[in-house]
Amino acid sequence: MRSVTYSMNVSLDGFITGPDGDINWSAPDEDVFRFVTDEIRGVGDYLLGRRLYETMLYWETADQDPSLTDSQREWAALWKPLPKVVFSRSLTEVQGNARLASGGLREEIERLRAEPREGDIAIGGATLAAEAAALDLIDEYRARVCPVLLGGGIPFFPQGERRVHLELLESRVFNSGLVYLRHRVLR
């Protein structure tokens, strides 16, 4: 069965955005960017909410940006054709290789798991991940912990989450001080 993963950058104090919604603190260096590129190779479908979808729209035409590094071009080449499912109450259409979710999160994940495809089902965005966590749909948490304290913002982990036991599968420390932690949910 295909795993459902939640992977994002997170501050040391547990936030994916600052109090003002800023994410500039999480821009990866080249070493981390290559790592994230390798991670996206294992994704078969990407689920995201409206805010993250709108942020990621840049990558639909990023290959036309002459200032991109080789690793950024490589990531864009992987991201653009990746099938994406967007969960939104306000959008009526999406671009690129994306579609609006036709059902609830559980139904979409069950449908994707039933398809004879390779790759993880990745979830991006804390709000959508919180819903998936509440439904006990997340199989792995992959946190890229950045060496910064934000003091508030949108939390990586849902507030009021039930106790979830995890098994550490992988960890890595980058020269930038970022720490990657990959945990499997124990059921």
pLDDT tens-place string over residues 109-132:
999 999 999 999 999 988 999 999
pLDDT tens-place string over residues 62-97:
989 999 988 889 999 999 999 999 999 999 999 999
Are the beta carbons of 9 and 146 closer than 8 angstroms?
A: yes
pLDDT at 6 over 70: yes
Local confidence band at 44 (pLDDT 50, 70, 90 cut-offs): very high
Q: Which of 97, 55, 54 is nearest to 78 (CA)?
A: 97
The whole-angstrom separation of Cα 9 and Cα 177 is: 13
Q: Which domains does the chain have, with CATH numbers?
A: 4-185 (3.40.430.10)
pLDDT tens-place string over residues 129-155:
999 999 999 999 999 999 999 999 999
Radius of gyration, CA atoms only, the chain: 16
Burial of 162 (0-12, 13-18, 19+ CB in 10 A): exposed
Q: What's the confidence (pLDDT) of residue 161? A: 65
pLDDT at 160 over 80: no
DSSP class of residue 172 equals E
Q: Which of 143, 127, 114 is nearest to 44 (CA)?
A: 114
Angstrom distances, CA of residue 75 to CA of 82, 128, 135, 182:
11, 23, 30, 20
Are the beta carbons of 7 and 132 closer than 8 angstroms?
A: no
